[in-house]
Amino acid sequence: MSLEIIDVIISGLITGSVYALMAMGLTLIYGVTKAFNFAYGSFYTMGGYIAWLLLVPIAIAGGYFSVFLLAVPLLFGIGYLLEKFLVAPLRKYDDWEVKVMMVTLGLSLFLDNGYMAVFGGRMKSLPTFVSGQIEIGGAVIMTQDLVIFILAVGGMLCFRWILRNTRTGLAVEAVAQNPAGAQIVGIRKEVIFASTFAISTIMVGLGGILLSQKYFVAPVGGGDIMIKSWVVTAFGGMGSVQGSLYAAFILGMLEAMVGWIFGMDYVMISIFVVLLTTLAVRPKGLMGRG
Amino acid sequence: MRKLQFAVFALAMCLITAPGAFAADTIKVGVPLAMTGSYTGAGENYWQGIKMAIDEINEGGGLLGKQLEVVRFDSKEYAPEVVMQGADYLCGQMKVASVQAGWSGWGQDVRAYGKYDQPFFCDDGSEAAVQVFREDPEKYGNIFQLTDTGINQAKSMFRVLMALPQKHHNNKVVIINTDDAWGTEVGDTMVESFKEKGWDVAKRETVPYGTIEWGPILTQIRKIDPAIIHVEIPSSQEVITFFRQFMKAPTNSVLSYGWSIVPREVMDTLGKEADGLIGEMPTAMPGPKAPNAKAQAWVDKFEKLYGHSPQGGSWAVYSGVMAWANAVKAVGDETKFKEINKYIQEHGYVGETGLWKWDADNVVRAGGDVPVGHYQVQNGQLVCIYTDPPTKPYADYKYQTPPWIKN
Amino acid sequence: MSWKRMAAIMAVFYAVVGILPLFVGDMRFVMHILIMCLIWAVVASCWDVIMGFAGIFSFGQVAFFVAGAYCSAMLAYHLHIPPVWTILIAGCFTGVLGVLVGLPCLKLAGPYVALVTFGVHMTLTPLLRGKIGIAMGSGGATGLLTIPPIQLFGWTFSSEHLVPFFYLTFAVTIICSAIILIIIKSFWGTAFLALKDSEEFATSLGVNAFKYKLMVFAITSFITGVIGAFYGHYVGMLSTRMLNLDLFCTLMVMLVVGGIGQFPGAILGAFITVTVNELLAPLGMYRPLIMGALVAALVLLLPEGVIGLIRSIGSMWRQNDPQTIPSS
């Protein structure tokens, strides 16, 4: 019995770290630019396809190391340009939030079906990052799950540290809190907006690479990721990095527990109920602000 | 402005309806398949089989001296009104002579195409679709099912599971299925069959699509330690993740995947890793060695064309096209739909392995020359170990105890 | 836009649509598309009222549509109540549902409202497919395959005869559009515009934001439910496949094409989107790809949608030719 609970807790932690990895970029982009990016899931898939392209048909030397090396500037460039050309021109409108939603919806339709046209509808699998499994006191953990857990938690903490302790991070924070005020003190808000968008693209793209090697790359897989990240960030409080981290693990644990006790069919309903109750008590999520 | 608006609209309407105006001496064949959305992969399997048959007929001089012309329709995600639109477009607007559809629902398709008389071939494998047919066999006489129902397929799977030369350490079984029409139909039948035989169904779980973390379910499975686990999820990512996470700490259970073995990615991704898995393919060509020379020639041709072995459904829809073409030849006029339907119903069609016979429900029931094939993954390849009904070993292939079972 | 102008655009447009069956009445395929256009036009306009006018990020429109369809179909199929009544009951049901969803939502900020309403959408699938749904008679995963057709004054309206059904839908659509027009142009509409401009100021003048938003939620949910029920009796079959993202995205495209918050725009948007979708259909998988690119381009280049385009062409016309006084 006790071993069973440990097993369930471990699987909750695995799901939690997967969610944390997915949601990291979304909370950043909403927190700073207040723009809701519907194409978020498509960037996740983009990361997966970049890795697949480099590793399988090109068979690049250096394996995942080279993939990360190439993917980071590539994703940054794509994110930056997309913000400049698609999102930034819309900020002048009153209802720019809706317009950004629509434009990114169009972008995600375009990208997802573009993947389908280029790579075909069948899903691809990536070579595993690390293989093998570790046994700790009767419980078996796959090494790659451990790596994902460490990267998710470590990444989130690292990210929070950067936001709070570096000049760039503080500038981003300042824009998030008061764009007009930040501009007055000499921070170039447009650059910060575009960079934030680009950094969030990197985050979700790298998350996509890491998780795609655990699961798969599929052209229509992005929608699901988008919805899950959305739930996690809203639950944790949009814009709060710490909140997202807690939310990811709470929801991961909830999913594992509900699945274990009541069955997988009730997972979605229970998540919805918990989300509603949380929002009823705290309308901005667990740790939401402003 | 209004004039412009009207002109644009009129132009648009003309463009939609224009193709119908051209009458050439070709015979049109309607092919409604998923070309976008989540079912694109399955749509591709069917398209390969249908295209192969049509190309073959055209290369051989066509049908009644006329070339066949394909009219495609994107069924997207099979929302009811889209299925209906497909029927109105293909049969009503394009006036196709026959519709070759592959999997197309669980009864919506019967209703939508039953309004017309053109022979309609589909691969639904659904009891609900048969129920709709029975409401009015006269009206739905143009609907031909290429595959037996989920209920009968599940019974076939059960018989083979019982026939396996495998010593079970207990009589507990765990059944996992998706929450769609196919999953519940197979899952329900499996539960019933096992209970009838006195087995203990220790767990029955209905999971939604998109489940990729199996921790909680596997925890329970490990506690139960069942003799058989049956997974019925017709989507690759769910079954691959299930298998990999199961293998983390496998129990001494026969792992039966049913139709879940069919999506091509499952074998492509897992390869030799999957050795020991069991699964089924309805109306599939048994392999790797086909039953006779003619069938082997068909398999070779398919592999040469597409570079991989034929997938679930490809051969079924190929046979659907051929059965229709055969009937058209016999009747001598592709527009005499009622007579063609009557001919198919009465005479069936003799294919590579033998006779395809449609019963009173217009379903090719499993058995005879077109049985359900039951496969095991051996050395990274799907090997047909049994055909059913009647349950008998196929060729000289033997069941192997899965490598993870240690008694 | 003045309400006269809105009404004029709608009148002309509906007049054109209304006579189309004279030309294409014998083409089932085209008639079916026209009927679906009318149905989507209503759903899209309701969504537009919520999103564009009331400024609530509701993503629950498809959910209300499906809920209405299921409610009416189950009542008519299991309890044998005439569809005319079940359609109204379904409308009331979704109206109440709208209030229930609206109550917790309206205190939340934009993306949270979107999430909660979309949550309703997502929980509907497991609910209808699962044990609860089966117990209520949703037919589980198989759905409902025999929904009785609408009977009115001894006439049967179903998908067998499309021209009569078209005119029935036509009438219902016009009524729904008129209701929406009245909402927008009444005191409420003005209240919403005030709320959108400055919520604080409007509230200080005594405009009760919460009350109005809730009312609008209820009414649009009611209309969406009614038209959803209508859809169910028309197609005669229902399944949870309606809840896939396909339809959701298409409806959003209609809003973008028509222009968000530009009322009769959503109606035009529905017709244009469906037509373009059908024209692109032979391209197979490139269809949604082109649609996506089109949406992004439209938002950037035509931020007010087709209505914005019509307006700018109209004003250009007036500038070039000052003698002509436009009739509408």
Q: Determine the pLDDT at residue C325.
A: 46
Half-sphere exposure of A195 (CA within 13 A, CB side): 13
Give the count of domains, chain C: 1
Is A283 part of the contact surface with chain C (CB cutoff 8 Å)? yes
User: pLDDT over 70 for what percent of chain C?
Assistant: 96
| pLDDT tens per residue, range A50-105 | 999 999 998 888 888 999 999 999 999 999 999 999 999 998 887 788 888 889 98
Contact A215 B40 (CB under 8 A): no
User: Is B7 in the C-facing interface, judged by CB distances under 8 Å?
Assistant: no
pLDDT at site C304: 84
Shortest Cα distance from B382 to chain A (angstroms)? 19
Residues B216 and B165 in one domain: yes
| Distance in angstroms (rounded) separating the CA atoms of residues B48 and C155 | 46
Percent of chain C with pLDDT over 90: 32
| B38 near A CB under 8 A | yes
For C82, residues 6+ apart whose C-beta sits below 8 A from its C-beta are: C76, C151
Would you state the torsion angle of the CA atoms of residues B137, B138, B141, B147, taken in this order, to the nearest 10 degrees? Answer: 10
B176 shares its domain with B260: yes
ipTM: 0.89
What's the CA gap between A53 and A205, in Å, rounded?
Answer: 14
Residue A37 lies in a domain: yes
Cα separation, B107 vs C145, in Å, equals 7
Range of the domain at C40: 3-245
Between positions 150 and 169 of C, the ones with CB within 8 A of B are 159-160
Q: Which site among B84, B139, B140, B233 would you substitute to test the C interface, given the most C Cβ atoms closer than 10 Å to its Cβ?
A: B84
- Kindly state whether residue A279 falls inside one of the protein's structural domains: no
Give the distance from residue B30's alpha carbon to the nearest chain C alpha carbon, in angstroms: 13
| B220/A260 Cβ within 8 A | yes
Together in a domain, B250 and B374: yes
Q: Which residue, A169, A147, A167, A144, is CA-closest to A158?
A: A169
Share of chain B above pLDDT 70, in %: 94
- Is residue B178 one of the residues assigned to a domain? yes
User: Does the pLDDT of residue B3 top 60, yes or no?
Assistant: no
Flag whether C258 is in a domain: no
Q: Do the chains contact at A103 and C300, CB–CB below 8 Å?
A: yes
pLDDT digits (tens, 9 = 90+) for B104-163: 888 889 999 999 999 999 999 899 999 999 999 999 999 999 999 999 999 999 999 999
Clarify whether residues B166 and B90 are in a common domain: no
Query: Is the pLDDT assigned to residue B21 strictly greater than 80?
Result: no
Residue with tokens 């998109």, as numbered in its chain: B210
Pick C104 or A206 by higher pLDDT. A206
The bridge status of strand C150-152 relative to strand B228-232 is unpaired
Instruction: Please report the pLDDT score of residue B13 as a whole number.
Output: 52
Do B255 and B108 lie in a common domain?
Answer: no
Q: Which residue of A has its CA nearest to B213?
A: A15
For C236, the closest of B16, B93, B111 (CB atoms) is: B111
Residue B74 DSSP code: E
**Distance between CA atoms of residues B190 and B184, nearest Å:** 10
Could you tell me if B49 and B114 lie in one domain?
yes
Q: For residues B128 and B120, what is the distance between their CA atoms, to the nearest angstrom?
A: 17
- Residue A179 vs residues A205, B62, C70, C266: alpha-carbon distances, Å: 27, 70, 47, 34
Contact state of B213 with A263 under an 8 Å Cβ cutoff: no
Check pLDDT > 60 for residue B14: no
Chain C: give the shortest CA distance to residue B211, in Å.
13
C contacts of B234 (beta carbons < 8 Å): none
d(CA A256, CA A252): 6
The answer to whether residues B131 and B239 belong to one domain is no
Assign C205 a pLDDT band (cuts: 50, 70, 90): confident
Residue A106 has pLDDT above 70, yes or no: yes
User: What is the token pair recorded at A193?
Assistant: 């907006």
Domain-located, residue B361: no
Each residue of A142-156: b (16+ CB within 10 Å) or e?
bebbbebbebbbebb
CATH number of the domain where residue B216 is located: 3.40.50.2300
Mean pLDDT of A29-48: 88
**Dist. CA C257–CA B16, nearest whole Å:** 20
C260 and A265 in contact by Cβ < 8 A?
no
Spacing of C-alpha B158 from chain mean position:
19
Q: How many domains does chain B have?
A: 2
Q: Is A7 close to B38, i.e. CB distance below 8 A?
A: no
Which has the higher per-residue pLDDT, B9 or C202?
C202
In terms of residue numbers, what domain contains A217? 20-221
Say whether both B240 and B378 belong to one domain.
yes
B282 preceded by cis ω (within 30°)?
no
- Answer yes or no: are the C-beta atoms of C68 and C88 closer than 8 Å: no
Q: Which long-range contacts link C12-21 to residues 24+ away (Cβ below 8 Å)?
A: C12/B2, C12/C328, C13/B5, C13/C264, C13/C267, C13/C268, C14/C170, C14/C173, C14/C174, C14/C177, C16/B2, C16/B5, C16/B6, C16/B9, C17/C170, C17/C271, C18/C170, C20/B13, C21/C163, C21/C166, C21/C167
Question: CB-based contact (8 Å) between A264 and chain C?
Answer: no
In a domain, C286, yes or no: no
Partners of A216 on chain B (C-beta within 8 Å) are 236-237, 240, 265, 269
Q: Which of B35, B80, B135 sits opposite C235 (nearest CB)?
A: B80
How far is A63 from C231, CA to CA, in rounded Å?
Answer: 53
Give the DSSP per-residue string, B37-71. STTHHHHHHHHHHHHHHHHHHHHTT-BTTBEEEEE
Distance, in Å, from the CA atom of A51 to the CA atom of A119, rounded to the nearest integer, reads 13
Quick one: average pLDDT of C153-175? Answer: 88
Give the DSSP per-residue string, A216-227: -B-TTTHHHHHH
Helices A40-55 and A189-214, interaxial angle, to 10°? 60
Structure tokens at B170: 């207990």
CA–CA separation, B234 and A95 (whole Å): 43
User: Which residue among B41, B212, B216 sits closest to A8, beta carbon to beta carbon?
Assistant: B216
**Nearest neighbour of A106 by CB, restricted to C55, C122, C293:** C293
Is residue C176 pLDDT above 60, yes or no?
yes
B10 — pLDDT class (breaks 50, 70, 90): low
Is the Cβ of B93 closer than 8 Å to some Cβ of chain A? no
Rounded to the nearest angstrom, the minimum Cα separation between C265 and chain B is 13
Interface contact B175, partner A, CB < 8 A: no
C-alpha span between B83 and B105 (Å, rounded):
9
Q: Is residue A237 part of a domain?
A: no
Which of A99, A238, A268 faces C123 most closely, judged by CB atoms?
Answer: A268
Does B100 share its domain with B114? yes
Nearest CA in chain B to A116: B36
DSSP state, residue B21: G
B41 interaction partners in chain A (CB closer than 8 Å): 121-123
- On whether both B91 and B232 belong to a single domain, the answer is no
User: Is residue B247 included in any domain, yes or no?
Assistant: yes
Whether C277 is covered by a domain: the verdict is: no
Task: Provide, as residue numbers in chain B, all residues whose Cβ is less than 8 Å from the Cβ of A18.
Answer: 213
Query: Which of B338, B71, A73, B308 lies closest to C282 in space, CA to CA?
Result: B71
- Cβ B188 vs Cβ A236: under 8 Å: no
Q: How far is CA A274 from CA A216, A247, A259, B207, C149, in A?
A: 29, 11, 15, 20, 40
Closest-CA distance of chain B to residue C44, Å: 17
Cα B110–chain centre separation: 16
Residue A79: inside a domain:
yes
Of C115, C261, C300, the CB nearest to A89: C300
Query: Is A163 within a domain?
Result: yes
- Residue among C51, C119, C255 minimizing CB distance to A275: C119
* pLDDT exceeds cutoff 60 at B1: no
Model pLDDT, residue A1: 53
Look over chain C and give the mean of its residue pLDDT values, rounded to a whole number. 86
* Chains within contact range of chain C (3+ C-beta pairs < 8 Å): A, B
**Measured between beta carbons, which residues in chain A are less than 8 angstroms from residue C115?**
230-231, 234, 275
pTM of the model: 0.89
- Give yes or no: residues B241 and B347 share one domain: no
B81 domain-assigned: yes
Closest CA to C61 of C236, C235, C254: C254
Find, in chain A, the residue whose alpha carbon is nearest to that of B210.
Answer: A224
Element (H, E) at B280: strand B278-281
In a domain, C252, yes or no: no
What residues of A are in contact with residue B43 (Cβ under 8 Å)?
121
The reply to whether B332 falls in a domain is: yes
Handedness of CA A212, A215, A219, A223 (dihedral sign): negative
Tokens of B283: 């109306």
pLDDT of residue A223 exceeding 70, the answer is yes
What's the Cα-to-Cα distance from C289 to each of A66, B38, B77, rounded to whole Å? 31, 15, 16
Cα(C259)–Cα(C230) distance, integer angstroms: 26
Checking if the pLDDT of B12 tops 60, the result is no
The whole-angstrom separation of Cα A114 and Cα A119 is 8
Radius of gyration of chain A (CA): 19
Closest CA–CA distance from residue C28 to any residue of chain A (Å):
30
Give C260's Cβ-side CA count (13 Å radius).
27
Q: Are residues B55 and B158 in the same domain?
A: no
| Bond preceding residue A283 cis, omega within 30 of 0 | no
Report the C-alpha gap between B333 and B311 in whole angstroms: 32
Q: Does C235 touch chain B (CB under 8 A)?
A: yes
Q: What is the 3-state secondary structure of C259-280?
A: CCCCCHHHHHHHHHHHHHHHHH
* Cβ–Cβ contact A262 with C under 8 A: no
Q: Could B216 and A121 be called an inter-chain contact, meaning their C-beta atoms sit closer than 8 Å?
A: no
Instruction: Give me Rg for the CA atoms of chain C.
Output: 20
Touching subunits for chain B (3+ Cβ pairs under 8 A): A, C
Q: Does the bond joining B288 to the residue before it have cis omega, within 30 degrees of 0?
A: yes
Which residues in chain A are contacts of B207 at CB distance < 8 A? 264-265
Q: Please give the residue range of the domain that contains residue B135.
A: 23-145+300-356
Residues with Cβ within 8 Å of B264's Cβ and at least 6 positions away in sequence, in order, are A122, B41, B45, B236, B308, B311
Distance from CA of B277 to the nearest CA of A (A): 20
Distances (CA, A) of C208 to C57, C179, C200, C205: 19, 21, 11, 9
Domains held by chain A: number = 1
